[in-house]
Structure 1
Amino acid sequence: MSTETEVVQRVEDYFRKKHWKTRREVRLRGRMADIMLVKGKDIAVVEVKGLKGNVEKGIMQALHYKSAVNFSYLAINKEAATRKIKETCKNLGIGLIVVNGGIKEIIKPQRTPALQSVQERIFETKTETQEKDVELKSMLDVILRTKSQILILKLLFLNPTKEFHLSDIARKTDLTTPAVSKELSNLLRINLVTRREQGNLIFYRINKDSIIFDEMKRIFLKYEMFSELVTEQLSKEKDIRYALIYGSFAKGIEKEGSDIDLLVIGDVKEDYLLKTIPKIEKEVGREINFVLWTEKEFREKAKKKTPLVREIVDNPVIMIVGDEDGFKRAAKERSG
């Protein structure tokens, strides 16, 4: 049995022998990564949980980093590596390292493309603006294994209080019943959906108690539902400084039919949003209430501590463009 500090040291030694350069406590996507690894052009992150660490929270953290770097690992004591933990890591493409008397990589991580913004920061390079749309395309493709899973989760995430039986899901996603059955089995294995029997029918719904629910929801909203808004905006060389979802959807307390509240800050024409937002509303089946501020308006409102600024700064948000820590820090600094 090892403390978190001991696990960190052993993991660093393990990767150094494999010629990785190691750094501790690096801020990444608004959170502090325990270990960052760099070898050549590859970037990896290791989330470490010691004897008393919350392993399920560790999986959620590793998943958070997975969409930003090439490889994401979870390192834990051997005693904590239950069958459920192993299956979850394997299905999510997260590497699993166990530490006991020695150290062993028992599950290899899935390789994913690192975000351009992360590469620029780590390697201190710059990428042309037109190339940035690559990182804004659906990262769900590298987290989930098939397009069918994405279609099913899209239906379930947007209807978190509803149950669906197999034929319902097949009809609404335009998938075959056998395909839906297969993908639901995979999603049940990672505990992202629940299953309930009633007579001859079996009902499924999204599992809001899943350890990865919050993170998957954030990734889903950011990359699957709002990718059109961001990629089109970049292709027209406009400047979105920040874009984020706030309110009930970000807090996880939305009800059936709740609106999605969207704040956009930057040099963006309102006509563009008025044309683009209806396309997204049609896609997600919910009304989107957007607020558009220039950076100057944002600074002024932050300085005055308006109710909306206070509401956004003091509560969870889902960032679509920009860094959450940077946004909230800017709002607080300008409010004095």
Structure 2
Amino acid sequence: MGMAEALFPATRQKVLKLFFLRPDAEFALREVIDAVGAGSGAVQREVARLVDCGLVFQDHRGRQKRYRVNRESPIYFELASLVTKLLGPESQIDAALQPLYPEIDIALLYGSVAKGVDHAGSDVDLLLVSDTVSLEDIFETLDPAERSLARTINPTVYTRSDFRSRIVKQQSFLTRVLDGPYILLKGNLDEFGISRQSGQD
């Protein structure tokens, strides 16, 4: 059992993910039910709990109720951070890639996710180093995470020799990626002559 499963029931995970990974969005109850993909009664109960404890606002628009996360809640930032760590791109992509990890030397996230400036519409940028895994394998493996996140995942794949060669030649794209914030999911960059710690300048 993962940490998210230990802390939150399955339906609550999906409801929290919907609201806290899309903090600028608001939803009708039917939209929440459709997005979560669980029974309407279970979703309504979870939403009602979040409203009752002040984590979600309920607004009335004519006959329709609209829901959005309450950023003024005293625990908003702490819970948003926890939801992001447990249910966000880093966690979901890491979990999705587990079956391929024996064949992957390096897996890291870069771009807006690593910088902490991503939003619900942001693509997720992923860099992989492998001599055996194909792009087709990667797209197939990442498909459930992509659908769950409702975001496009953009993988870039290098062989070990190509990755090492581009580092030595200081290829502009890789230089930008490795000089900027990144989140190392798997592997050791030291063997490629990169000693900077993940996500640090």
Same fold (TM over 0.5): yes
Displacement, 1:262? 0.8
CA distance in 2, matches of 1:328, 1:149: 40
CA distance in 2, matches of 1:226, 1:139: 14
With over 3 angstroms needed to count, the CA separation of the structure-2 counterparts of 1:258 and 1:279, relative to structure 1, is: same
Contact 2:3–2:86 (Cα < 8 Å) also in 1: yes
* 1:1-336 → structure 2 map (5 Å cutoff): 138-142=2-6, 144-156=7-19, 159-184=22-47, 193-199=55-61, 201-205=65-69, 207=71, 210-220=77-87, 221-230=89-98, 232-234=99-101, 238-270=102-134, 271-322=136-187, 327=189, 332-333=194-195
CA distance in 2, matches of 1:275, 1:296: 25
Contact 2:20–2:80 (Cα < 8 Å) also in 1: no
Gapped regions of structure 1 (runs ≥ 5) = 1-136
Displacement, 1:138? 4.3
CA distance in 1, matches of 2:190, 2:27: 38
Q: Higher helix fraction: Structure 1 or Structure 2?
A: 2
Displacement, 1:164? 1.5
**What is the CA RMSD across the aligned residues, in angstroms?**
3.6
Structure with more contact order per residue of length (Cα contacts < 8 Å, sep ≥ 6):
2
Corresponding position of 1:127? none
Q: Deviations over 1:220-268 (max 9, x none)?
A: 22333552332x215xxx3222212211133232344322111112333
Corresponding position of 1:54? none
With over 3 angstroms needed to count, the CA separation of the structure-2 counterparts of 1:141 and 1:331, relative to structure 1, is: farther
SS at match of 1:272: helix
Matched residues, number:
189
Structure number, greater radius of gyration: 1
With over 3 angstroms needed to count, the CA separation of the structure-2 counterparts of 1:240 and 1:203, relative to structure 1, is: same
Please tell me the residue identity of whatever aligns with 1:217: T
Please tell me the residue identity of whatever aligns with 2:159: T
Displacement, 1:300? 2.7
Please tell me the residue identity of whatever aligns with 1:254: D
Give TM-score scaled by structure 2 length.
0.70
Q: Deviations over 1:50-80 (max 9, x none)?
A: xxxxxxxxxxxxxxxxxxxxxxxxxxxxxxx
Structure 1 residue runs of 4 or more that deviate by more than 4 Å after TM superposition: 185-191, 206-209, 328-331
Contact 2:109–2:183 (Cα < 8 Å) also in 1: yes
SS at match of 2:77: coil
With over 3 angstroms needed to count, the CA separation of the structure-2 counterparts of 1:268 and 1:255, relative to structure 1, is: same
CA distance in 1, matches of 2:128, 2:106: 6
CA distance in 1, matches of 2:95, 2:158: 20
Give TM-score scaled by structure 1 length.
0.46
SS at match of 1:267: coil
Contact 2:17–2:83 (Cα < 8 Å) also in 1: no
